[in-house]
């Protein structure tokens, strides 16, 4: 069943393994080749569905989503299809509030090291040399102790500095327990015997994905995150992956400037769309959603 399912999908967030992980946290459905995750709307009897990086739904898919959604009390379904910008969506679909970044950087791993370095921004090549000169070392790890260090870097450092609305520690721990050395892999950068940067990488089919990254503000001058990402790309090449999705780009943001230095190609997906199931409640949901995000931005 797992192998057959994975043949039909093209992103780790639609994989059988991802569904098994998310099923530990919420109800899921597999509807016409789409993994749907249902989230309960707090203080109500209703829920809302989400299909990340799935296919473009057909009219038949839409009917199935509506039918299943009504059975479980869904107000609507949000989808962010794994399609290039400009792709046409079916009727009954309306624009939704983005969860994923619509733009991302894709690094072509079929190029050799010399080509990849040549295509990098000069600052990126310089930062790699700086990290190497300082003796920063990179390694892949399946150690729970190293993962604890990743959590420390993420929640005591990066998430606070960048004001990221991130999943909590329990989510990351459950993800690691469920997916490590399957579709999730941990890489760490060490300096003076201390882990100062770490990344979680997803792999699926012919691609690897930069899912999460965290680093110490201390020792930032040794440029460990740049060397870390470079060595992950080289690891991906050694495993014959063709593409490295750096997962998210937003003009003017620090995380985006960091990724730009690798000379990857900017790609854009079709966007975020909603399928209203209960139209009246859906309108109320969208109003409440906008109010919630305004409050969160104010708090941050």
- Tell me the CATH number at 23: 3.40.630
For residue range 171-200, what is the model confidence (pLDDT) as tens digits?
A: 999 999 999 989 999 999 999 999 999 999
DSSP track, 210-228: EEEEEE-STTGGG-HHHHH
The reply to whether 56 and 154 lie within a common domain is no
The reply to whether 215 and 147 lie within a common domain is yes
For the whole prediction, is pTM greater than 0.85?
A: yes
The reply to whether 226 and 290 lie within a common domain is no
Domain count, the chain: 2
The reply to whether 119 and 63 lie within a common domain is no
pLDDT value at 287 more than 90 = yes
First and final C-alpha spacing in the chain: 44
Over the Cα atoms of the chain, what is R_g?
A: 20
The reply to whether 140 and 254 lie within a common domain is yes
**Separation CA 269–CA 259 (nearest Å):** 18
The reply to whether 184 and 46 lie within a common domain is no
Q: Are 99 and 190 in contact (CB under 8 A)?
A: no
The reply to whether 129 and 242 lie within a common domain is yes
pLDDT value at 290 more than 80 = yes
pLDDT at 86: 83
pLDDT at 159: 47
For residue range 121-148, what is the model confidence (pLDDT) as tens digits?
A: 999 999 999 999 999 999 999 999 999 9
The reply to whether 12 and 59 lie within a common domain is yes
The reply to whether 109 and 242 lie within a common domain is yes
Indicate the pairing of strand 47-52 with strand 34-40.
antiparallel
Domain limits at 25? Answer: 2-97+269-299
CATH number at residue 176: 3.40.630.30
The reply to whether 125 and 252 lie within a common domain is yes
The reply to whether 38 and 173 lie within a common domain is no
The reply to whether 56 and 129 lie within a common domain is no
């Amino acid at each position: 069943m797992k192998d057959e399912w994975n043949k039909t999908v093209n992103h780790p967030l639609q994989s059988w393994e991802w569904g098994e992980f998310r099923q530990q946290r919420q109800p899921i459905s597999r509807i016409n080749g789409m993994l749907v995750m249902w989230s309960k709307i707090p203080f109500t009897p209703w829920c809302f569905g989400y299909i990340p990086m799935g296919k473009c739904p057909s009219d038949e898919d839409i009917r199935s989503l509506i039918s299943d959604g009504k059975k479980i009390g869904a107000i609507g379904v949000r989808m962010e299809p794994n399609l290039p910008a400009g792709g046409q969506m079916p009727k009954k679909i309306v624009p939704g509030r983005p969860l994923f970044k619509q733009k991302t950087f894709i690094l072509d791993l079929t190029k050799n090291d010399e080509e990849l370095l040549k295509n990098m921004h000069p600052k990126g090549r310089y930062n790699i040399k700086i990290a190497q000169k300082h003796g920063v070392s990179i390694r892949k790890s399946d150690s729970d102790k190293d993962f604890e260090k990743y959590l420390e870097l993420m929640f005591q450092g990066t998430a606070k500095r960048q004001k990221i609305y991130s999943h909590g520690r329990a989510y990351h721990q459950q993800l690691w327990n469920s997916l490590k050395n399957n579709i999730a892999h941990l890489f760490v950068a060490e300096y003076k015997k201390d882990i100062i940067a770490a990344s979680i990488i997803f792999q699926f089919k012919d691609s690897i994905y930069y899912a999460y990254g965290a680093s110490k503000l201390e020792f930032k001058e040794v440029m460990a995150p740049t060397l870390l990402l470079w060595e992950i790309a080289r690891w991906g090449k050694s495993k014959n992956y063709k593409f490295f999705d750096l997962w998210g780009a937003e003009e003017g943001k620090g995380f985006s400037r960091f990724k730009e230095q690798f000379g990857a190609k900017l790609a854009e997906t079709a966007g975020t769309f909603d399928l209203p199931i209960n139209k009246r409640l859906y309108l109320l949901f969208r109003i409440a959603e906008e109010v919630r995000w305004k409050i969160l931005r104010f708090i941050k």
